[in-house]
Amino acid sequence: MGPGEFYQVVGVGPHSKPWPKDERFDPELLENGDRRNVLESVTEAEFKDFEFIIDIERKIALTLRKLGRENEADEIIRRLDAVTEVIDEA
């Protein structure tokens, strides 16, 4: 089973060369990409924004449902429910 076989791959892959010369770009991220998802990034950075991100993700799922993309919406809700359950238990 490879990335994206059963669900969409999260994040971005490596950047093609030549890389931007701006020092604001992280060479490691340019070389390897960043596959963290929004929830992982937010929980690492600022827990107080977590509820805001959950709300955004639920709205994305609602939009996907309206577009008839039920499987993708179900996957988002499944992940959100699992994450919020763990947070509530902590």
Check residues 32 and 7 and name the one with the higher pLDDT.
32
SS (H, E, C) the chain: CCCCCCCCCCCECCCCCCCCCCCCCCHHHHHHCECCCHHHHHHHHCHHHHHHHHHHHHHHHHHHHHCCCHHHHHHHHHHHHHHHHHHHHC
pLDDT tens digit string along 54-75? 889 999 999 999 999 999 999 9
Q: Cα–Cα distance between 77 and 21 in angstroms, integer?
A: 39
pLDDT tens digit string along 10-40? 667 788 899 888 888 888 888 888 776 655 6
pTM, 2 dp: 0.47
